[in-house]
Amino acid sequence: MKDWFSHGTGEFRPEQFRKLGRNVVFERGVLVFHPENIEIGDNVYIGHNAMLKGYYKNLMRIGSNSWIGQNCFFHSGGGITIGEYVGIGPGVQILTLAHVLDDDVETPIILREQEYQAVVIENNCDIGVGTIILPGVTIGAGSMIGAGSVVTRNVEPYSVVAGNPARLIRKRK
C-alpha cells in the first residue's frame, strides 16, 4: 500500500521562489507548491485561485509579460516552460505526468510508475479558456489554441488549433 501524505497548504512567500521578477501579481487564492523550483519573469499576472504545482524535481518557468487566468492548474513534475507574452485563459490545465500503462491488469493504475514529460509553450501564444495540455507537448511560437481544446501533440509555430483532440484549423502566416 502506498503511503499518502500532505503536500502542504500552498501558502508561499516571495523569497521562496527560485526566481521572482518585478511587478508579479498574485491574486487572492493562488496556491504555490515547491516555489523553490519555480521561476517567474517580470510583469506577470496570476489570476484568482490558480494553482502552480511545482515539484521536487524539474522547473516551472513563466516568461515575462505573461498572463495566467483564474482557476488554472499547472503540474510541473516533468517541467513546464512558458515563454514571454503568453496569454493563458481561465481554467487551463497543463499536465506533465501520466501513469504508465501496459498489459498488467492486476496492478491498480494509481499505483503504477509515473512517466514525466515536459510541456513547452513558446513566445507569443494564446491558450483559450479551459484548454488541457497533455504531457510532452510543445506549442510553437505565435500559436492560438481554441477554448476547450485538448492538446495531445505538438503544435507548429503560428498555428490555430482547436477541438478534442486539437486539430489544425489554419496557419497564421
Tens digits of pLDDT across the chain (173 residues):
567 778 889 999 999 999 999 999 999 999 999 999 999 999 999 999 999 999 999 999 999 999 999 999 999 999 999 999 999 999 999 999 999 988 889 999 989 999 999 999 999 999 999 999 999 999 999 999 999 999 999 999 999 999 999 999 999 98
At residue 2, the pLDDT reads: 66
Closest CA to 33 of 69, 6, 65: 6
Q: Which domain holds residue 83?
A: 14-171
Do the domain assignments include residue 2?
no
Q: What is the pTM of this model?
A: 0.95
- Is residue 6 domain-resident? no
Domains identified in the chain, total number: 1
Active-site residue identified among 34, 48, 75, 99: 99
Q: How many Cβ atoms from other residues are within 10 Å of residue 14's Cβ?
A: 10
Asked whether residue 3 is domain-assigned, the answer is no
In a domain, 9, yes or no: no
Active site residue 7: no
Q: Give domain status of residue 145, yes or no.
A: yes
Residue 55 sits in a domain whose CATH number is 2.160.10.10
